[in-house]
Structure 1
Amino acid sequence: MVADHGSKTEISFAGRFASSAIAACFAELCTIPLDTAKVRLQLQKKAAMGDVVAIPKYRGLLGTVATIAREEGLTALWKGIIPGLHRQCLFGGLRIGLYEPVKSFYVGDNFVGDIPLSKKILAGLTTGALAITVANPTDLVKVRLQAEGKLPPGVPRRYSGAMNAYYTILRQEGLGALWTGLGPNIARNAIINAAELASYDQVKQTILKIPGFTDNIFTHLLAGLGAGFFAVCIGSPVDVVKSRMMGDSSYKSTLDCFIKTLKNDGPFAFYKGFVPNFGRLGSWNVIMFLTLEQVKKLFTRQVPS
C-alpha cells in the first residue's frame, strides 16, 4: 500500500486489488454494527410534538446499538452487510489498489526520496472519486437497508434483501436512481480516502524514521488510528449529507440537503454520530490496514536488486 522503504519486492495491480478487497471486506464485516448505528444517528431528525421537542429515539453509540438490538434483534446491526461487501470489493479494491500506481504517476517514474504529502493527498482524492463512481449503487442499497428501522405490524419492508433492493430501485426509480447522492458521495469518499490513505502513508513514514520503530504491527496500528481520526474530522459533514440524501429522496440536491439540515437541525447536525463515526472509521482503518499489510505478503514476490 505504502512505500516499501527499500525492500526489493514487487506486487501486481491484481495483487493490490485482491489484497485491498480482502482487507476492506474483513474490516466491513467486523465494524458494520457501528456503521448501522452511525447511519441511524445521522438520519435522525428533530421531532417536535406541539411546543415540546420529543426525546430522540437514538442516543449515543452504545445507546443506538442497544436500541436496534432490543427492538429489531442482533442481526439488524448487520443490515446492509451484503451490499456493504459488494461495495468494499469494488470501492475498497479500487481506491486502495490504485493508490500506489496513481501516486507514482503523479511524481513520475524517476522520482527519488520521500513523496510529498500533497501528491499523496492528490492520489487519494483521485482514487476515491474514481472508485465510488463505480461503486455508488452498492453504497445506496447499503444505506437504504441500514436506514429502515422497526416497522409497525402489518407494514411490509421496502426491500426483502440486497438483490431485491437493486431490482426494485431500478424498476421503480430508473437506472439513474442507483447513482443518487453521487455528488456528495464523490466529495465524501474522495476527501475521506485522501485523509485515510495519505495520513496512513505519512504517519507510517514519520514513525519509521523514529529510532526503535520498525515496519511492524504496532506501527500499522498507530498509523491506522491516525488515518481514522483524520478521516472523521474532515469527512463528517459530507458523510451526513450523503446519508440523508440516500436515506430520504425528498431532497432536491446536495445544496438543498445541506441548507435544510443546517436550517432545521443546526450546524452541529453535520457532526451527528461523530463518536460512532470515529469508532467505526477508527476501528475500520486499524483492522483494514493491519489485514492489508499481512495479506499483501501473499501477493508480493521478490525481484532482483
Structure 2
Amino acid sequence: MAIHLYKTSTPSTRNGAIDSQVKSNPRNNLIHGQRRCSKGRNARGIITAGHRGGGHKRLYRKIDFRRNDKDISGRIVTIEYDPNRNAHICLIHYGDGEKRYILHPRGAIIGDTIVSGTEVPISMGNALPLKSTSTDMPLGTAIHNIEITLGKGGQLARAAGAVAKLIAKEGKSATLRLPSGEVRLISKNCLATVGQVGNVGVNQKSLGRAGSKRWLGKRPVVRGVVMNPVDHPHGGGEGRAPIGRKKPTTPWGYPALGRRSRKRKKYSDSFILRRRK
C-alpha cells in the first residue's frame, strides 16, 4: 500500500499521511443500509463505550466470509474501499454468474483467479479446509479469515494486515498462532483463506487533523483526572491533583490498565494453549 504524504500548505494537512486512494463504487445488490450507531449507549441511554458518536453515514457491504461456493473459480474484478473496516475488499465474478465481495488478500491484483473447496491448490486467496483429502496444507502456511465453527464463516484474522500461522496438526485439531500471539486449537475441517489480509500499512496513516477523526465516528478522549468527582473516580481535588487511589480505575470503579477481563471457566479455555500477549 502506497502512503501519500501531504504538503504542509495548511495547518490541517501538516504531518498528514493517507494511503493511496482506492475508489468505492459498490454494487447495489451487495450493499444495504444500516441503523445509525448507538453512539456507545445501551438501551437505557447510558454510556457503555466512550468516545463514540457522529461520523459519516455508511452503507454496509455484504462480505462473503463463508466462501461456500465450492469448486467454482472466480476472477477479481475490482479492489474497493470499505468504510466499515480497515481492510480493502474485492469484487469477485464467479463462473456461474454470481458476484460476491471478499476480503482483499495481500498481493492480489485485478484479474487474478481464486477458488474455494477441498481439492484446490494452496495459493493466495484460495479457501480450503486446514486438512483435506488430497491437498494437505503444510505447516507454516500463512492464513486468514479462519472459521471457529464449521460452516459459520471466518471469524479470526480478518483485520487489515492480519495473518495467522498453522504450526501443528494432531488428531482432529490443528494448532494456530493468531495475530494476538494466542495459540489455539481449531478443527481441521474448518475453512481458512491462504495469505495475509491486505492494506498492511494502515497503521502508518496519520489523519493530520481532528475533523478526520470525527468523520470516523470517534469523539475526543478526556482524562478522568480532569473531571469532576461525580463523573469519574479520578476526578476532583484542588488544582492539579493525583487520582487519589492506589491504582487507576475505570469510570465505574473497576480496576483498569492491565486487569484481565476474560471470564473464568469459559467454554473455550480448553482450546487455548497459550493466552494472548
Scaled to the shorter chain, the TM-score interval is under 0.3
Higher strand share: 2
Higher relative contact order (CA 8 A, sep 6+): 1
- Higher Cα Rg: structure 1 or 2? 2
TM-score, length-scaled by structure 2: 0.23
Higher helix share: 1
